[in-house]
Amino acid sequence: MPTDRPTSRDVARLAGVSRTTVSLVLNNVPDVHISPETRQRVLEAARQLNYYPDASARRLVSGKTSTIALVWHRGPDQMYRDAFLPGLLQGATRAARRYGYYVLFRPIEPDEPDDAWVELARGRHTDGLILSGPRSDDTALLDLHRDRFPLVLHGQLPGADIPSVDVDNEQGAMTAVRHLLALGHQRIGMITNAPLAYTASRQRLEGYRRALVEAGLPFDADRVRYGNFDEESGRQAMESLLSLEERPTAVFIASDMVAIGALRALREHGLRAPEDMAIVGFDDIATARYFTPALTTVHVPAFGLGWGAAELLIRIIEGDLPNETQVRLETQLVVRESCGAHVR
Amino acid sequence: MPTDRPTSRDVARLAGVSRTTVSLVLNNVPDVHISPETRQRVLEAARQLNYYPDASARRLVSGKTSTIALVWHRGPDQMYRDAFLPGLLQGATRAARRYGYYVLFRPIEPDEPDDAWVELARGRHTDGLILSGPRSDDTALLDLHRDRFPLVLHGQLPGADIPSVDVDNEQGAMTAVRHLLALGHQRIGMITNAPLAYTASRQRLEGYRRALVEAGLPFDADRVRYGNFDEESGRQAMESLLSLEERPTAVFIASDMVAIGALRALREHGLRAPEDMAIVGFDDIATARYFTPALTTVHVPAFGLGWGAAELLIRIIEGDLPNETQVRLETQLVVRESCGAHVR
DNA sequence: CTGAAAGCGCTTACAG
DNA sequence: CTGAAAGCGCTTACAG
């Protein structure tokens, strides 16, 4: 916009008052009595000049940016995580708006240093950060936390006491496996979503193990294969499972993307889900319901995670720290076709 | 962060120079000769204090926010558009970073006024805006454009000369239909992605019409059905097409989501694609390749659209207005299974 | 009830 | 080559 932008001085002049009064009226400062006529004159002048206070000046004087940032680490799991981005972002922005905050989106590309986001915090571009996909070797993160910069993780960083929002992976996996057990399966295999270096992967595996043990069944490492985020890893994992002496009758696959590949492997062997093998996935990506067969899967509430992370962060920013800063959201089993429950 | 944040004054004091010098050194202002020793002292002092210039102060004095915003209108087409969000955002942020800009994400929910985003511009929260899903009845948009606020549309607004970035819908549709023609089909139906009130929908229909006419075939409105973004509308549209006296042998479906529903209708009738009916979709959503059959479709370059929009916007912000401000990106036909090309 | 003044933390002419 | 001063556009004690 050209240079003719009105300032509070212009409004004051037009309304015949001081800039103080303009500020007081426009910000609706409470416990300040200003005559209704004056108030009206200011409002009218502002409207007439199409005046909006300058955000930069406001930020400087208030010491607040009214902005939070979502830092989005990209990596080998990009496609996997992209599936959650729209929901997560929508949840975060909705919560942010509710409290009067804006949301800055900052992806960290694989070719950037892991801590490329710290300048956002140190340079006061934002009042707080949501970090999605934290890396445990990120010392900048720990430093910032020590300096009391408001931070919330989406995901988990074992060992650090940084506030975080995540799904209860173990519970979700247990629910999935219990469902297969209830359908009468005894030989249940698993394909993980990712290598065990990923916390979520370990937790989902642990949920699988616990559900088996709880049912008095042995945990057999031979029935576990390791996925790696993508379809191809699922295809290979299922291939390997199919070559087993004692084939599982059901497989819990801790990622829908990986499950897609597993389903393909099944088709390539002339096998059908759920008739020849029951499948339960994890994530409930947007198109899971449209697969053939429609995928029974564990729903991850992306919107809720985004909302929860933003709300927790804003409470921290505003000094209203809750007792519990490790938020775990429940998942929900969505029963469709691939588990075979509808057949019975 | 607590109050102990260092300012340029602290750095100046520690280095034994003035704040001017600190600023000059840290910003690497050219054509200013400062002794290497002084320079070194300043750098060292900044490092020692862990000093980062305050963004708010910088914004105020420079009159620049170094931020662009992506305004994301939500509506009936939400799920449809969400499929593009990760790519679009990544493209926009990558381009933005390259030029030193941040990206603010601002969805407009259905319950907000259509012009809820204008305060971003008028209040100088951002140097420019990308508007995705513009509404033609948005007068605030026209006002802002008249006031020369930097604006780029993702999509099109017929009539207005506002800079915009979009896909060449007509060309994309022509490519799809030509492909079906080349496979020998003569009776080709179409299901649109959305009602004709949407520009993209009209353009894709026009591409279909032109490809037929170009091949010397009549355009028969009886073979056209109207989708409405979602799967269910595709199912119904295909139902209707199947009840036709002279069934088409191929259908161009201008949206992958709608195509999913159409494929389901086919299955429900015991028909198979591509054997009984060839299908070509549009969009190339992330999971299109994993459907059964894998969907032949017109790829929409989400990343390129985001990149192009951000780059165009930044050029406008920086006064480097290109001659052509109506950018149309090419689509690309991705041949997979549903069209039957692999069978021949 | 309203106004003059200080100040937020920088950058940038302008002197020297 | 470096420093003192003004100023970006607000808000907020502080007087009156």
Amino acid found at A339: C
CATH topology of domain A8-53: 434 Repressor (Amino-terminal Domain) (1.10.260)
Chain B residues in contact with A267 by the CB 8 A cut-off are: 292
A159 by Cβ neighbours in 10 Å (0-12 / 13-18 / 19+) ranks as exposed
Q: Quick one: which residue's CA is nearest to D5's C1'?
A: B20
The span from the CA of B299 to the CA of B310, in Å, is 20
* B297-299/B332-334 β-pairing: antiparallel
The span from the CA of A188 to the CA of A180, in Å, is 8
* Å separating the CA of residue B58 from the C1' of nucleotide C11: 8
CB neighbour list of residue A271: distance below 8 Å, 6 or more residues apart: A242, A277
- Geometric angle at alpha carbon B182, from B180 and B187, rounded to 5°: 50
Cross-chain Cβ contact A292/B292 below 8 Å: yes
pLDDT tens readout for residues B207-266: 999 999 999 999 999 999 999 999 999 999 999 999 999 999 999 999 999 999 999 999
Chain A residues in contact with B338 by the CB 8 A cut-off are: none
List, run by run, the mean pLDDT of 10-residue segments along chain A (344 residues): 74 87 86 83 90 94 96 87 94 96 96 91 96 81 92 90 96 98 97 94 97 96 96 96 96 97 95 96 93 94 98 95 93 97 73
Q: Quick one: which residue's CA is nearest to C13's C1'?
A: B20
Q: Report yes or no: B14 and B25 within 8 Å, Cβ to Cβ.
A: no
Predicted pLDDT of residue A2: 44
CATH code of the domain made up of B67-166+303-328: 3.40.50.2300
Predicted pLDDT of residue A344: 56
Q: Is the CB of B33 under 7 A from strand D?
A: yes
Q: Report yes or no: A179 and A185 within 8 Å, Cβ to Cβ.
A: no
* Å separating the CA of residue B20 from the C1' of nucleotide C15: 14
Predicted pLDDT of residue A15: 87
The span from the CA of A287 to the CA of A273, in Å, is 17
Cross-chain Cβ contact A105/B106 below 8 Å: no
- Geometric angle at alpha carbon B119, from A62 and B320, rounded to 5°: 100
Cis before A274 (ω within 30): yes
Tokens of B56: 């708010």
Domain positions in chain B are 8-53, 67-166+303-328, 169-300
If you search the block for the tokens 């007081």, which residue do you land on? Answer: A24
Predicted pLDDT of residue B321: 87
Cis before B134 (ω within 30): no
Chain A residues in contact with B106 by the CB 8 A cut-off are: 93, 102-103
Predicted pLDDT of residue A38: 86
Cross-chain Cβ contact A56/B53 below 8 Å: no
Q: Describe the strand order of the beta sheet including B164-167 as a list of residue ranges.
A: A326-329, A164-167, A151-154, A128-132, A67-73, A102-108, B102-108, B67-73, B128-132, B151-154, B164-167, B326-329
* Option in A86, A285, A292 nearest B85 (CB): A86
| CA atoms lying within 13 Å on the CB side of residue B307 | 10
Q: Report yes or no: B309 and B152 within 8 Å, Cβ to Cβ.
A: yes
Q: Quick one: which residue's CA is nearest to C7's C1'?
A: A61
* Option in B59, B105, B290 nearest A231 (CB): B290
The span from the CA of A114 to the CA of A108, in Å, is 7
* Option in A60, A63, A103 nearest B60 (CB): A60
The span from the CA of A117 to the CA of A131, in Å, is 9
* Option in B55, B60, B79 nearest A57 (CB): B60
Alpha-carbon torsion A252, A255, A260, A262, what sign?
negative
* Å separating the CA of residue A34 from the C1' of nucleotide C1: 6
3-state secondary structure of B229: coil
Predicted pLDDT of residue B305: 98
* Å separating the CA of residue B151 from the C1' of nucleotide C6: 38
3-state secondary structure of A319: coil
Most B-contacting residue of A287, A289, A292, A295 (CB-CB within 10 A), to test interface: A287
Q: Report yes or no: B109 and B103 within 8 Å, Cβ to Cβ.
A: no
The span from the CA of B283 to the CA of B305, in Å, is 13
Residue A178's alpha-carbon distances to A132, A171, A210, in angstroms, are 30, 10, 10
Q: Does domain A169-301 have CATH number 3.40.50.10490?
A: no
Q: Do the domains spanning B67-166+303-328 and B169-300 agree at the CATH topology level?
A: yes
Chain B residues in contact with A290 by the CB 8 A cut-off are: 231, 260, 264, 291
Residue B313's alpha-carbon distances to A13, A137, B309, in angstroms, are 35, 37, 6
Q: Report yes or no: A313 and A150 within 8 Å, Cβ to Cβ.
A: yes
Q: Which DSSP helix (H) or strand (E) runs through A299?
A: strand A297-299
Q: Report yes or no: A216 and A243 within 8 Å, Cβ to Cβ.
A: no
- A64 to chain B nearest CA, in Å? 9
Q: Which DSSP helix (H) or strand (E) runs through B141?
A: helix B139-146
Q: Which one-letter DSSP state was computed for residue A166?
A: E
CATH code of the domain made up of B169-300: 3.40.50.2300
- Residues 49-88 of B with CB within 7 A of strand C: 51, 53-54, 57-58, 60-62
- A124 to chain B nearest CA, in Å? 6
Q: Is the CB of A325 under 7 A from strand C?
A: no
- Residues 6-45 of A with CB within 7 A of strand D: 7-9, 19-20, 22-24, 26-27, 29
CB neighbour list of residue A170: distance below 8 Å, 6 or more residues apart: A203, A204, A206, A207, A210
Chain B residues in contact with A121 by the CB 8 A cut-off are: 1
Cross-chain Cβ contact A285/B287 below 8 Å: yes
CATH topology of domain A67-167+302-329: Rossmann fold (3.40.50)
* A332-334/A297-299 β-pairing: antiparallel
* Å separating the CA of residue A8 from the C1' of nucleotide C3: 14
Q: Which one-letter DSSP state was computed for residue A159?
A: T
Low-confidence ranges of chain B (pLDDT < 50): 1-2
